[in-house]
């Protein structure tokens, strides 16, 4: 697939070239919200495009779909329709078609600079599942907290382990998060204590968003799973490690995970990621038939996390890649529904922390600092074991190959003191 060029200028390292065409929800200075896409630093209103008849007569009667505060109804048009819309956008903004170029002279109608809009939550999240799909991450945690000789629990290589999380506290990039409070049980005290977490961590994840509904009792075969996936976002699953350690037995994470997860605002479609398919890790032992698949179901997406103390520069603390995930999205969705669990448009499924084979690719401070025993050094003599108040956590994701680049922008959040 060759790179496509637009008459809207972009740079070679731009996340949002004509090869991407993501979808999100933008709000202008008049508080009007609309479905949008982005090329370079230009945000394009699909509501204005639809009103001008760009998407054909069939969609002109569905104008509200492009004026909503969430993408859910847009996604509900179906993948055939949303793919056709994306292809139309690519054609209209290619360097060979300047039919919409005149609208650049009318600011506030179809085109906005990214600095002129506020990006909102792209979808209304009904349900949320967090998986545990990185073998390297699960192994590191098992070594730290259990038996180093048997780091992975017996079920781990047989099922995509996951849990149902809190959807209401998933927020869009730029939303600050207060340090959570809860019970902890330090090793040197007899009884649990209450207070702000001392071990606040990020978890570097990606999440996919479902694009179709199913009925209760229906399951999604692994070979058809991608038909139900609309696109992906960056997902920072903030975690309070000391609260988690005390509360997780026997039912798993609760307050340690439900205080804030921060996503990037642009949903990147599987169509845009098609050139970046790759083989995932070899799965041994052989998985059960309902999890077996053919072809490349993993994607080569580069990931990066930076930490920025207040009034300091941001420093990269890890680089990883989604290709390290042991369990792919198709397997995750097949497993989620194999018991007949129904899904809805806009549901979100996070990958779990994505760690690679070496310390530079570990996807959490828990691993990078090895439970705080190996602090990382930042500029100006600053060190970190875990996230401090007023630190900002920045996550980037992009795929790049043969002159093509498709990015996700960033997920950014500043940590504020506990209330």
DSSP summary character for residue 328: -
Indicate if 137 belongs to the active site: yes
How many Cα atoms sit within 13 Å of 256 on the Cβ side? Answer: 23
Question: Which strands form 42-45's sheet, in the order they lie side by side?
Answer: 111-113, 42-45, 33-39, 24-27, 118-120
Q: Length of the chain in residues, anyone?
A: 419
SS3 302: strand
Residues 6+ apart with CB under 8 A from 251: none
> How far apart, in Å, do the first and last CA atoms of the chain sit?
51
* Phi, psi (rounded to 5 degrees) for 198: -100, -15
Neighbours of 153 (CB within 10 A): 14
Q: Which of 14, 88, 5, 84 is nearest to 44 (CA)?
A: 88
CB contact at 8 A, 281 and 135: yes
- List, as one string, the DSSP characters of 347-416: -EEE------SSGGG-SBHHHHTTTTTSPEE-GGG-EESSPPTT-EEEEEEEEEETTEEEEEEEEEEEEE
Q: Which of 70, 137, 335, 396 is catalytic?
A: 137
SS3 244: helix
Q: For residues 89 and 83, what is the distance between their CA atoms, to the nearest angstrom?
A: 10
CB contact at 8 A, 134 and 354: yes
Q: For residues 419 and 179, what is the distance between their CA atoms, to the nearest angstrom?
A: 8
Lookup result for tokens 């967090």: 130
C-alpha dihedral sign at 164, 167, 169, 175: positive
Lookup result for tokens 């960033």: 410
Tokens representing 410 are 């960033």
Q: Which of 98, 62, 109, 100 is nearest to 81 (CA)?
A: 62
* Phi, psi (rounded to 5 degrees) for 257: -125, -10
CB contact at 8 A, 331 and 161: no
Give the residue numbers marked as catalytic: 137
């Amino acid at each position: 697939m060759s790179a496509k060029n637009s008459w809207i200028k972009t740079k070679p390292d731009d996340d949002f070239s004509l090869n991407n065409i993501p979808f999100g929800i933008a709000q202008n200075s008049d508080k009007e919200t609309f479905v949008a896409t982005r090329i370079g630093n230009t945000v394009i209103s699909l509501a204005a495009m639809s009103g001008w008849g760009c998407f054909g007569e069939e969609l002109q009667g569905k104008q509200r779909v492009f004026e909503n505060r969430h993408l859910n109804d847009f996604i509900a048009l179906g993948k055939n329709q949303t793919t056709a819309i994306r292809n139309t956008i690519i054609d209209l903004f290619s360097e060979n078609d300047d039919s919409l170029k005149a609208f650049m002279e009318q600011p506030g109608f179809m085109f906005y600079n990214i600095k002129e809009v506020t990006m909102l939550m792209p979808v209304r999240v009904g349900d949320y599942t967090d998986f545990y799909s990185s073998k390297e991450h699960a192994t590191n945690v098992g070594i730290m907290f259990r038996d180093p000789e048997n780091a992975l629990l017996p079920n781990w290589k047989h099922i995509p382990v996951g849990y149902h999380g809190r959807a209401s506290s998933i927020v869009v990039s730029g939303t600050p998060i207060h340090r959570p409070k809860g019970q902890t049980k330090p090793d040197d005290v007899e009884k649990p204590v209450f207070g702000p977490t001392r071990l606040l961590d990020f978890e570097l994840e990606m999440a996919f968003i479902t694009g179709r509904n199913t009925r209760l009792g229906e399951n999604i075969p692994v070979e058809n799973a991608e038909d139900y996936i609309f696109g992906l976002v960056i997902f920072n699953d903030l975690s309070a490690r000391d609260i988690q350690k005390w509360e997780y037995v026997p039912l798993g994470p609760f307050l340690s995970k439900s205080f804030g997860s921060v996503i990037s605002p642009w949903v990147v479609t599987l169509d845009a990621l098609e050139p970046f398919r790759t083989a995932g890790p070899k799965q041994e032992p052989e998985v059960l038939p309902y999890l077996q698949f053919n072809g490349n179901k993993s994607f080569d997406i580069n990931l990066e996390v930076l930490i920025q103390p207040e009034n300091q520069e941001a420093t990269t603390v890890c680089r990883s890649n989604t290709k390290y995930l042991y369990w792919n999205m198709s397997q995750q969705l097949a497993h989620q529904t194999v018991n007949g669990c129904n899904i809805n448009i806009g549901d979100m499924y996070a990958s779990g922390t994505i760690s690679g084979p070496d310390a530079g690719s570990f996807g959490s401070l828990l691993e990078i600092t090895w439970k705080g025993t190996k602090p990382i050094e930042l500029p100006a003599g600053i060190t970190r074991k875990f996230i401090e108040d007023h630190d900002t956590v920045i996550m980037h994701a992009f795929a790049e190959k043969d002159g093509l680049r498709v990015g996700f922008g960033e997920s950014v959040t500043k940590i504020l003191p506990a209330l």
